Amino acid sequence: MSKTDLSKFNNSWYNPGASWLIRAMWYCTNASFFNSYFPFYSIKIFLLRLYGAKVGHGVVIKPKLNIKYPWNVRIGNNAWVGENVWIDSLGKIYIGADSCISQGAMLITGNHNYKKSSFDLMVGDIILEEGVWIGTGAIVCAGVACKSHSVLTAGSVATDDLEAYSIYQGNPAVKIKERILAE
């Protein structure tokens, strides 16, 4: 049987989208203003835009957010990003308008190919359409699209796309019922 050999790991093909200097500056900015208890949304939004993120109006960004590469992030109007959220944006992440990412949730665009002895890096984009709710501690994996107004319940893991107006639960998440919104 073959074995994993991490000495063969090579992700030289991957381009994070910014120079090492910009990445170093972002690392310091992220630690100081985002992955901290700094409370002011407007300054955070200004900084995200400064580093290339596209951020809509009325966005709420709570403390202790960790963002890998903001230039790969798009956030629509009136979206909420809760405390202790991890946005691992090796790939593109789109958070639609009026979406909510609850406390401790993770959006993970990177993974590793466990079938290869070199444990190759794999990257896939994440799309959260309008009105999506990602529950507390839930994980959205690389390559997943959460369709309009879908819900991923607390602690669940989305490894495949979520249908519109549907509620998903579990690991891996499965559809448990329709989402019906009242006026």
Which helix (H) or strand (E) segment holds residue 112: the answer is strand 110-112
Cα-based angle 40, 92, 76 (whole degrees, multiple of 5) = 45
What mean pLDDT value characterizes the chain? 97
pLDDT at residue 79 greater than cutoff 90: yes
| pLDDT higher than threshold 90 for residue 17 | yes
Task: Assess if residue 5 is contained within a domain.
Answer: no
Q: Mind listing the pLDDT tens digit for each residue in 27-65?
A: 999 999 999 999 999 999 999 999 999 999 999 999 999
Distance between CA atoms of residues 120 and 11, nearest Å: 7
Indicate which CATH number applies to the domain containing 121. Answer: 2.160.10.10
pLDDT at 183 exceeding the cut of 90? no
**Structural domain boundaries enclosing 110:** 18-177
* Confidence grade of residue 1 (pLDDT, cut at 50, 70, 90): confident
The answer to whether 130 touches 142, Cβ cutoff 8 Å, is: no
How far CA 182 is from CA of 106, 114, 122, 179, in Å, comes to 28, 44, 40, 10
Residue with tokens 């093909």: 13
Number of domains the chain contains? 1
Q: Is residue 70 part of a domain?
A: yes
In a domain, residue 35? The reply is yes
Q: What is the 3-state secondary structure (H, E, C) of 6-35?
A: HHHCCCCCCCCCCCHHHHHHHHHHHHHHHC
As given in the structure block, the two tokens for residue 147 are 């369709």
Is 89 among the domain residues? yes
Task: Answer yes or no: is pLDDT of 132 > 90.
Answer: yes
**Rounded CA separation 137/101 (Å):** 9
Residue 130 in domain: yes
% of the chain at pLDDT higher than 70: 100
Residue 144 in domain = yes
Residue 4 lies in a domain: no
Q: What pLDDT does residue 49 have?
A: 98
Instruction: Round to whole Å and give the CA distance between 103 and 183.
Output: 26
Q: Is the pLDDT of residue 76 over 90?
A: yes
Sheet containing strand 66-67, edge to edge, reads: 66-67, 86-88, 106-108, 139-140, 157-158
- Is residue 41, in this structure, part of any structural domain at all? yes
**pLDDT value for 162:** 98
Task: Select from 80, 78, 76, 113 the least CA-distant residue to 93.
Answer: 76
